[in-house]
Structure 1
Amino acid sequence: MSTVTSFHLGVPHSLSMRPTLVTPRPYSTRPSLKEKPKIPSIIIPPTPINTCSASLPPYDKYAPLVQIQLQPSTITPPSSALSASTASTSTSTLEPDMTRSCGEGGSPTDIVAIAELFATLKKTVATLHTTFDRLGTQTEKLAQLAPAMKADQQANFCAKLENQIVSHENTMQEVRRLLEDTIKDSLVDHLKSQVFGAIRESVAKELKIQIPEKLREQGKAHQREIVEVQTNLHNSDARRHNASLRSPSMTTEPLRPLLRPLPSALQSPAYVSKRPWAAYPSMATAVPSPMTPFPGVPTPTPLTLKVPALMVPPGSNQVFELIPPTPSPLFPRDLGSLFALGPDAAKRLLQDYGLDSTASAGPSPSIEKPRAKAPLTKTGLNTPEDSPKREEDINKFMAHIGVPLLMVPAPKPKGHACTSTSPSPKNPVENLSLLIVSNN
């Protein structure tokens, strides 16, 4: 089978023409074996050679159509290497022929330029073909890798989701246990308070029925007596210790404090309720206690065994307890602090222990002796009016706590008999001179 290639050559008849074998290249990258490539026709415009005329002959006078017989060849699939070799072969085959024809007939430079353009286009097409082949290969690889990547992502997502579900379940279990413990504790406390309240009320009702009022008053009186006996026992031990301080030079020896006496029935009672009064607002003002004492409490008076009549309201189930007595906050630490007490501190100390009232026991005869010595009262201690009262208060307090000493004012020297009785700021030691003697 032969193919006929037709060329319109723009060369005059006077010039000898030499046909050139051109192998056509199919335009499709992958042509089918059933399809036949089309025969290209190249029309090259004429160019005058060795002429100086400006006018060109008409197109009808050009050389007639030349038919070239081509040998049959098999069509092979295109490839980058085959395309490149074919292009180079065609170019190399065409260029010598054109060069030879140009050499023989003097062809113009446009034909060479067109041939070079075709060669460049062929190289470009070959390069694009190679690039498209690479892109297709990479696309196929990506298409193969996409399912694997999606499977890995789904596996990772499932693992993370399972871990999160497990952590949420653990947190819920901890919260559930915490809520159970909290609710159980609150319910137990609430039930205990309710049960204890019900038991207390029922026991109070039964005690009121079973125990008469007189017997309960006797029990309260015995309780107060027990507290008083314990207080007296403690004070006796403290007096025995304080009686061992027989020397006035033992000013740094510590004194053992005595407990204050219990208040009487007419004063603020020494009972405290185990229940807060806020739960019983109607009884908060009717029942006196250390939380709601009587207004205008008088000074302490000697102890009595009489039970307060308004200690427990009638029909109430309150449980009262006696407040244990405590020492006075003004109680001196040692003899030096005792001798340095001022008139106001000494008076308040006597009031705390109930020693400044007329019902209290009077001082011993040994303490009354300094009172008869009127000339010794003007000693310059504090002021002439307060000095004897202060000494009497301190002597009374020392006799109460068991200290066997007596404070006696020191006499003034004769040279200062006519001086003023006010204290001298230049000699404070002389103003505070005292004479401490033993009471035995």
Structure 2
Amino acid sequence: MSDDATATPVAVAPSVDTAAVRELLGMMKATLGQLDQTFRTLNEQSAQVKSLGPTMELAVGQLSSLRHQIHAQEKKQEVRVEEIRRMIREDIKLKVADEMREQIRKQVPLEIAKQAREQIGLQIRDVLPVSLKTQAKESRDYLEEVKHALENSEARRKNSVLKPSPNNLADGLAVVLKPDGTKSKLYPANLRSLFAYDYGKSKELVQDFGLHDHGVLEKNLNGFMAHIGIRFFLVPVPPTDATKTGGGAVLMPVSAK
């Protein structure tokens, strides 16, 4: 066996990536450079702060003095405001008192007059249970009733002279007023107009005067004529029972005995 066959093998060193090493070294160098710049910046800022030290202390002192001045001014303002408030309260009290005195001075006579009127009114009601105003209205109403009664009486007197003659049918009828003192819109102008009424119109006429509706034409007309003072009445010819529309019968005036 030869020497070469028995010799110990020699270890082979691993290969190194030089490009990667160079890149890593470059990065480390850049990082160191950044740190160095940061330290320089901090030193510069510290120096600036130190250089501003007296100025900062002066500013703090000025601010403190200003705060004291503001506080003192606020105290003075509060005292002034309170003084103004006190003066206002006192002035308001005096003004209100003056106004109340004046109001009381004016109100007392009014209140006395009001109570006097109320007492007089109570005494009058005790003496006169019906008020004067009511009595006056009742008196006026009574006078109107008397006036209407006199007018109706005169109208009935004039109507009473009418005779059941063809010559009198066109003579005007004196107006007898309704119970409320007004003239009826259905009031006939004369006997001819009255005798031309049918049952329906005669019913409206008697109801307008508050008279009884007999349900028969001639009875309604006779009732109305008696109410207005006429001294004759109507009878159907031939003498048969009339219907509610008159039954077509002819009505003839007959003098009352």
**TM-score normalised by length of structure 1:** 0.27
Structure with the higher fraction of residues in helix conformation: 2
